[in-house]
Amino acid sequence: MSTSFALALEAARNAAAQQHYPQGALYVVATPIGNLADISLRALHVLQLVDCIACEDTRHTQGLLRSYGLERPGSQLLAVHQHNEAQAAQQLIARLQQGQRIAYVSDAGTPGVSDPGARLCAAVQASGLRCIPLPGASSITAAISVAGAVAPAHSAEGFVFQGFLPTKSAERQAAVQRLAAEPRCTVLLEAPHRIADLATALATLAQRPVTLAREISKQFEEIATMPACELYAWLQAQPQRSKGEFAVVLHPVAVQGDEGQGLQVLRLLLAELPTKPAVRLAAEITGMPRNQLYDAALALKQAEE
């Protein structure tokens, strides 16, 4: 442990020890996605306080704890991952009912967001017990914060978190087609061995701006914005650009004039009518091409499924 983290542990005690930490509660703790200094003072305090730590990978978490000088015996680390989450949840609930405090961490970032944790929290809450979030690092919000993805006039506000797209080519392309009908800012995640395939699929979005954030908070962090059709060539230009973990931000697009009105009419009609009658009436009301409205209706239906 470095001197800096010794000081951090002291600061954590000074800043967080006076707060209330109820027994029989699950503390869902966000951990750094790269830079160890991105841990919060409250997280450091809770990781010292709890009776045991449930984690996605016990070896990984043990190494993380050692970095902060928080050595734990193996008996106090419980494996809770995507393959055993439902079964392990019952073991944790039994401990919580005995009054133990338990922390849950994933390998990096915020649990339950493209990581295990959601089923665990659902089971704990269904048992009448508390889940207490300790916010921290997230590649999603980090990427959005620097993307400059400003919603233009006539475009929807907010963002959609899509996560990982399907791995099979046809399913991935269908997912990208649905994204093309989504005007809001959309955030994707991707692994290094599939980033080139994702870039190829996103090329159909043509000039839509895309921000690619690679290795956020790590030594070789790289963030770049370009039209979707240029993303594949940008990756291929330098081999290291395809390495690391990726957050990809699709910038919002403006829905202009009559097209925006037509899509709004179509949405309202689809809420009350089957697809074909809704498309026919929307075309008569707005004057938009029926084929265009039909494609938009299919994309909206698929996005809802």
**Does residue 305 surpass a pLDDT of 70?**
no
State mean pLDDT over 232-238: 97
Split at pLDDT 50, 70, 90, the class of 158 is: confident
**Does residue 182 surpass a pLDDT of 90?**
no
State mean pLDDT over 219-240: 96
The class level of CATH for 3-134 reads alpha beta
Q: What is the pLDDT of residue 292?
A: 77
Helix axes 275-286, 257-270, angle to 10 degrees: 150
State mean pLDDT over 184-195: 96
Residue 241 φ/ψ, nearest 5 degrees:
-70, -15
Q: Where are the domains of the chain?
A: 3-134, 139-250, 257-304
**Does residue 259 surpass a pLDDT of 70?**
no
Q: What is the pLDDT of residue 303?
A: 65
State mean pLDDT over 178-205: 93
State mean pLDDT over 162-189: 91
CB 49 within 8 A of CB 155: no
Q: Which of these ranges, 49-63, 97-111, 194-208, 251-265, has the smallest mean pLDDT?
A: 251-265
Q: What is the pLDDT of residue 254?
A: 64
**Does residue 91 surpass a pLDDT of 60?**
yes
State mean pLDDT over 113-122: 92
pLDDT tens string 20-77: 999 999 999 999 999 999 999 999 999 999 999 999 999 999 999 999 999 899 999 9
Q: What is the pLDDT of residue 144?
A: 96
The class level of CATH for 139-250 reads alpha beta
Residues 6+ apart with CB under 8 A from 68: 1, 5, 8, 9, 36, 39, 44, 47
**Does residue 152 surpass a pLDDT of 90?**
no
Q: What is the pLDDT of residue 256?
A: 53
| Alpha carbon separation from 10 to 17, 45, 251 (Å, rounded) | 10, 9, 42
| 3-state class (DSSP) for residue 101 | coil
